[in-house]
Structure 1
Amino acid sequence: MHNAPLSLTFSDAQILTPDGLMAGDLSISEGFIGRSCGRRINADGYLILPGIIDLHGDGFEHHMAPRRGAQSEPTQGLRAVEAELAANGITTAMLAQFFSWEGGMRGPDSAETLIRAVADHDAGTDLHIQLRLEVAVSDLFDRASALIDAARIRYVVLNDHLPHRALAAGKRPPRLTGQALKSGRSPEAHLAMLQDLHKSMPRAIAALAELTSDLTAKGVRLGSHDDRTSEDRARFRALGADICEFPETLKAAETARAAGEPIIMGAPNVVRGGSHDKKIAAADLIAKDWVDALVSDYHYPSLHRAALKLWQDGLPLQQAWGLVSSGPARVMGWDDRGHLSPGLRADLVLMHAQTRRIEGVLCHGRVTHLSGELAARMVG
């Protein structure tokens, strides 16, 4: 059982508003931002920011399977995931779980195991599932659809990680042996499976159109991953995928922007100063005001670090932090979070103004992380 929602007032803080940081008090009661009540906590020297909303993070995989073939007990793994999320200011997290031919942690069995574990887990952080559906696995679409319905998954991303170029040329794809070991197949069996999937792509795309039509009718948001060309974006748009996640080129991003479609980029790209594999730099798109949300991708700490880096580089804090709070909320149509306004969820990040360390995190008014001087003030 988690602690009860707090009723208190943080006084003399710097509070992030749509117009920037403003000195003042912020009160919470019964899980929501509201009128002054409860005891007063001196928050002088702290920034109070909206809780971070992460729409795509697969850093949880390390906690669920610390080594290849060594999967942890799901509940223990989720506890470790939550601790890392909270320490990094994340109050709403979508665990980006594959439903793929890749097997192992990315196979259908693992997807079902994770979803059961999240459903049974008494989470302090608001946990959701983003299902990353490989478009080639048409034989598994019925299973995927049943899982989406049962788990009430609201965000599905379409992926195509098949090495089509190598397969079309009759070549052995790169990293084949490593992939085979992760999936529990021999390299020969894995290659044969990839060749079969590549050959059956026309049938898979036809089946995918039927599946996505059904999903969009049920209100599931669809996105596409790693669009490289305008044609990629148009093809996925035709399938109902109106979120452009990690476009690889300026042209793909420009096509999405012209259509008014949300663009999601990775926070590690911002922190590193560019893509680790020489794709488009997220900062270039942010400078054009084309990015709606930053996500953790493979590294949870990068979310707050990216926002702070953008602020340091000259972007107003309300815009920089908005990329990890109000922007993601807007993409998903969540109007109960993302801002610090009366009546909204008390999802808060308390950051030491000088050290920029996150010392306190509240999700729906409940403490999920507390450290440093702030802990002494609140406990004392």
Structure 2
Amino acid sequence: MDAHSRVGPSGSMVLTNARVVTESELFNGTVHIRNGMIADVDRGRSQVPGALDCRASILMPGMVELHTDNLEKHIAPRPGVLWPSIPAVITHDAQIVASGITTVFDAISVGDVVAGSTRLKTLETMVNALQVSKRDRMLRADHFLHLRCEVSHQGALEMFRSLVDQTMLQLVSIMDHSPGQRQFVNLDKYREYYMGKHGISAGEMEEFIRTRQEDSRRYSDRYRKAIAGICRERGIPMASHDDATPEHVDESAGFGMSIAEFPTTLEAAKASHQRGMMVMMGAPNVVRGGSHSGNIAAATLAQEGVLDILSSDYYPASMLDAVFRLARLETNDYDLTRAIATVTAVPARCAGLDDRGSIAAGKRADLVLVSECKQQPVIESVWRAGNRVY
């Protein structure tokens, strides 16, 4: 395929001899694109002059990523180093597109567990850089803002109120990373994670744990209610985070949350499904074969039929790898079509983006062409709104 193929002068393009993945089936076919939209989907090969031969590679929808903190790595590539924000956003965007993601919700942390952290220092910088980069058409993927509210942080509510009018804001998640509950029921895992990530010494760790638990008691319930109330008033979709018990799930559903991010137990994941919430798990969990925090494995939720969405979380390339691994597991009912829906159609619907996420007439031509080499998926091309961006 021509490495520089784009929509032609007439605004049309034909992709043929592709293994087309729709929401319900996979077949050899042809996709007709006109003015950035999918005009038609046919079975079989097209003889239209100029049609691009996909050589029987898989043609799937562009992936929709609801939760990634990947931008942080480009803003602060090393301890004590802050990179210029616009180049950081552009580099992050290039990595996102190269991973087959055409719509991304950049998850920016509002509050943190460590005072004076880089996350706190760069919050407004990252949000402003995203706004400017999108406004000035510097980006290849379609970017939205996802505010991750750390409700155990003293200043979280005030910071959230200062950002809630951002035009890019399309999703809010509410989280509490204090030790002894949710993600970090296991205090040994908590110590391992924060001592490694933030360089906290063993002597300092017990005081750190005590302080974080006190902050949670002081702020979390009050801030969770306040932020959820603001989101309901404004119609902003909400996600829970690290629910571990049916009581957590009942509270989240009561606040009107529609997505259950990273439930830590099978019990919580099943309860979320029963309450009509879509269950999101990390794609790295699938690729690595389990949770780095020692919680429930995403593959276990797939076996139980309660895995709805995969997110790259901290590693963008994990989404595509996870999809193909999920489809190869023999202990669940996720064939390639259903596995691909966890990163396309389902997250698009949850985010209220009805114009994308599937290959069907009338949908936006966000597409990814994928080949396989020894069971490793390899991205050949990516189109956003019919224009080739990778």
TM-score bin (small chain): 0.7 to 0.9
Amino acid at match of 2:132: D
Distance 1:12 1:200 in 2: 56
Q: How does 1:362-377 map to 2 (within 5 A)?
A: 362-369=383-390
Amino acid at match of 1:16: V
Given the alignment of the two structures, is residue 66 of structure 1 paired with residue 77 of structure 2, yes or no? yes
Given the alignment of the two structures, is residue 174 of structure 1 paired with residue 191 of structure 2, yes or no? yes
Given the alignment of the two structures, is residue 325 of structure 1 paired with residue 315 of structure 2, yes or no? no
Deviation sequence 1:230-273 (CA, Å, 0-9, x none): 22222333333342110111111121111111110011111112
Distance 2:314 2:232 in 1: 27
Distance 2:209 2:282 in 1: 31
Distance 1:276 1:253 in 2: 18
Q: How does 1:20-31 map to 2 (within 5 A)?
A: 20-31=25-36
Query: Residue 91 of structure 2 is aligned with which of 80, 99, 105?
Result: 80
Query: Residue 118 of structure 2 is aligned with which of 99, 105, 109?
Result: 105
Residue matched to 1:234: 250
Query: Residue 127 of structure 2 is aligned with which of 93, 97, 115?
Result: 115
Distance 1:201 1:119 in 2: 35
Distance 1:63 1:135 in 2: 25
Once the 2 structures are TM-superposed, how far is the Cα of residue 115 of structure 1 from its aligned partner? 1.0
What secondary structure, in the 3-state scheme, does the structure 2 residue paired with 1:174 have?
A: helix
Distance 2:81 2:141 in 1: 25
Identity %: 31
CA contact (8 A) 1:351 1:360 kept: yes
Amino acid at match of 1:336: D
TM-score, reference length from structure 2: 0.82
Residue matched to 1:134: 150
Distance 1:133 1:91 in 2: 25
Residue matched to 2:54: 43
Moved more, 36-45 or 344-353: 36-45
Given the alignment of the two structures, is residue 248 of structure 1 paired with residue 260 of structure 2, yes or no? no
CA contact (8 A) 2:150 2:156 kept: no
Amino acid at match of 2:378: R
Once the 2 structures are TM-superposed, how far is the Cα of residue 163 of structure 1 from its aligned partner? 2.9
Distance 1:177 1:25 in 2: 53
Amino acid at match of 1:327: V
CA contact (8 A) 2:367 2:383 kept: yes
Change (3 A) 1:38 1:253: same
Change (3 A) 1:82 1:232: same
Residue matched to 2:140: 124
TM-score, reference length from structure 1: 0.84
Once the 2 structures are TM-superposed, how far is the Cα of residue 327 of structure 1 from its aligned partner? 1.4
Change (3 A) 1:105 1:368: farther
Moved more, 314-323 or 352-361: 352-361
Distance 2:83 2:191 in 1: 29
CA contact (8 A) 2:75 2:85 kept: yes
Change (3 A) 1:199 1:272: closer
Query: Residue 287 of structure 2 is aligned with which of 254, 264, 271?
Result: 271
Deviation sequence 1:74-115 (CA, Å, 0-9, x none): 1111121122111111101111111113343321x4221111
Q: How does 1:188-207 map to 2 (within 5 A)?
A: 195=211, 198=214, 201-202=217-218, 204-207=220-223
Query: Residue 64 of structure 2 is aligned with which of 53, 65, 72?
Result: 53
What secondary structure, in the 3-state scheme, does the structure 1 residue paired with 2:327 have?
A: helix
Distance 1:90 1:278 in 2: 28
Change (3 A) 1:192 1:89: closer
Residue matched to 1:376: none
Residue matched to 2:39: 34
Residue matched to 1:349: 368
CA contact (8 A) 1:248 1:279 kept: yes
Distance 1:216 1:322 in 2: 27
Residue matched to 1:170: none
Residue matched to 2:225: 209
Aligned pairs, number: 355
